Amino acid sequence: MKRHKRKSSSGEISKDFRKREANKFNKTHSGKLTQSKIEEHIKLFEKVKEEISKTVVGQQKVIDGLLMAILCNGHVLVEGVPGIAKTLIVRTLSKVTGGDFSRIQFTADLLPTDVTGLTIYEEKTKKFKVVKGPVFANFLLADEINRSPPKTQSALLEAMQEKEVTIGDTTYELPTPFFVMATQNPIEQGGVYTLPEAQVDRFLFKIIVDYPTSQDEIEILNRNMTLRHFESYELNAIINPQKIIEMQQDTKKIYMSREIAQYIVDLVDATRNPSNYKIEKGKYIGYGASPRASIGLFIASKAQALLKKSPYVLPEHVKEIARNVLRHRILLNYEGQAENVNSDDIVKEILDKVKVP
């Protein structure tokens, strides 16, 4: 593995790739996304964000991350302290995209059937009836998901990965699009359960929500939900589920060269074999990222390119979404946990040292 030893500045790589990727893209004759179609999607997304701003103040990085995840047909794990509009954001998002919204408040006594649904027997009709759970929605908020035991948490596994749910002996398809935003509180340690790694890996992004700025918080005082009803904001549906599906299909059409694909594979490989890339903080890695990380970087970088009005992926597009994709997929060893190492710092070093082929 010698690729990481290449000596090129990020500016030189970016300029060189911009020319090369543009030439390759222009030679592509089928399946490519036109610039006019990209501009059309961008205008719609700007209208969506403008509508969201009626209720949500600030948090632009979070909103951008959620919109990007929707483009990728992926799910998001959001971590942040209580009271910073996590629930409001996804509720607003469902409203302006014309989808159905459902919320599950995860608690210690929540059962898997409370998530997926169950079969009941009706005495009047003398027949069994299927009662579908709250998972049957376009936008599902799994609030404080780490408050329920693993058995209940894993009830979302089939839904998130297969986009279907089995109730009794029958399998039901979930509505499309289907988007899960799960939240967890990083502060409290009592009465919470660590998310199973198999479930964490199914989230495309893990997004960290910070406190609002002082300027944003002044605006929050005037628009807070405790003084007004949600309906009073008179939110309009800017797009619909069918349009979202079209956008998801167009995201896949963003061009990616073999070199960029190899760069993605190298980034993920650096989490598994850090010594090959001279990653000093690699000594804190217990387990590297799974192939889902490569898939996540692949589709997320295409979404990032689209939002940056580019019909092809550049190295900076991969770098801009790498933390959201990788931070929850790098498992620290005991030494890393004892040293309170932040996985974001490991990702930063990997991005600094792994070069584009």
Task: Determine the Cα–Cα distance for residues 213 and 61; give it in Å rounded to an integer.
Answer: 13
Asked if the structure places residue 199 within a domain, the reply is no
Asked if the structure places residue 308 within a domain, the reply is yes
Task: Determine the Cα–Cα distance for residues 89 and 106; give it in Å rounded to an integer.
Answer: 18
- Residue 205: predicted pLDDT: 95
CATH number at residue 345: 1.10.8.80
Helix axes 35-52, 60-72, angle to 10 degrees: 130
Asked if the structure places residue 243 within a domain, the reply is no
Surface-to-core class of residue 300, CB atoms within 10 Å of its CB (0-12 exposed, 13-18 middle, 19+ buried): buried
Asked if the structure places residue 340 within a domain, the reply is yes
Q: Is the pTM of the predicted complex or chain greater than 0.95?
A: no
Render pLDDT for 14-35 as a digit per residue (tens, 0 to 9): 666 677 777 777 776 566 778 8
- Residue 1: predicted pLDDT: 44
- Residue 152: predicted pLDDT: 84
Task: Determine the Cα–Cα distance for residues 142 and 119; give it in Å rounded to an integer.
Answer: 22
Render pLDDT for 338-357 as a digit per residue (tens, 0 to 9): 998 999 999 999 999 998 87
Inter-residue contact 49 to 63 (CB < 8 Å)? yes
Residue 8 has pLDDT above 50, yes or no: no
Asked if the structure places residue 113 within a domain, the reply is no
Q: What is the mean pLDDT of the chain?
A: 85
2: containing domain: 1-33+253-357
What is the mean pLDDT of the segment spanning 97-124?
Answer: 87
- Residue 4: predicted pLDDT: 45
**Strand, helix or coil for residue 53:** coil
C-alpha dist (Å) from residue 296 to 244, 302, 321? 19, 10, 9
The number of beta carbons lying within 10 Å of the beta carbon of residue 22 is: 15
Asked if the structure places residue 4 within a domain, the reply is yes
Percent of the chain with pLDDT over 90: 39
Based on the structure, what is the number of domains in the chain? Answer: 1
What is the mean pLDDT of the segment spanning 161-166?
Answer: 87
- Asked which of 50-64, 215-229, 236-250, 264-278 is least confident by mean pLDDT, the reply is 215-229
Asked if the structure places residue 129 within a domain, the reply is no
- Residue 282: predicted pLDDT: 92
Task: Determine the Cα–Cα distance for residues 4 and 279; give it in Å rounded to an integer.
Answer: 10
Render pLDDT for 170-219 as a digit per residue (tens, 0 to 9): 889 999 899 998 888 776 665 677 787 778 888 999 998 888 888 888 87
Residue 268 has pLDDT above 50, yes or no: yes
Asked if the structure places residue 2 within a domain, the reply is yes
